[in-house]
Amino acid sequence: MVVLGHIKEQSRLSLGSYGRPRMTEELKELGLSVGHRRVGRLMRENGIRVERSKKYKVTVECH
């Protein structure tokens, strides 16, 4: 499946930071006609998940 191959490659290149919306936009830029629901389903079925990083870093020590 061509779309799944592209999803896996883009996920690897983005270091797992692309979710369904951004992944859909990347695939459309590559010239693939694909909808966000299909991208989400393929990602879910193949265990491709977003690796979340910490949103904030604690800079003040609390006592």
pLDDT in tens, 1-52: 789 998 999 888 888 888 999 999 999 999 999 999 999 999 999 999 888 7
Which amino acid belongs to residue 50? V
The candidate with the shortest Cα–Cα distance to 12, out of 56, 58, 49, 61, is 49
Q: Are 25 and 14 in contact (CB under 8 A)?
A: no
Give dist(CA 36, CA 20) in Å, integer: 6
The whole-number pLDDT of residue 39 equals: 93
Domain that holds residue 13: 1-63
pTM of the entire predicted model:
0.74
More confident residue, 10 or 58: 10
Count of the separate structural domains present in the chain: 1
Question: How many C-beta atoms surround the C-beta of residue 18 within 10 A?
Answer: 21
Give dist(CA 7, CA 5) in Å, integer: 5
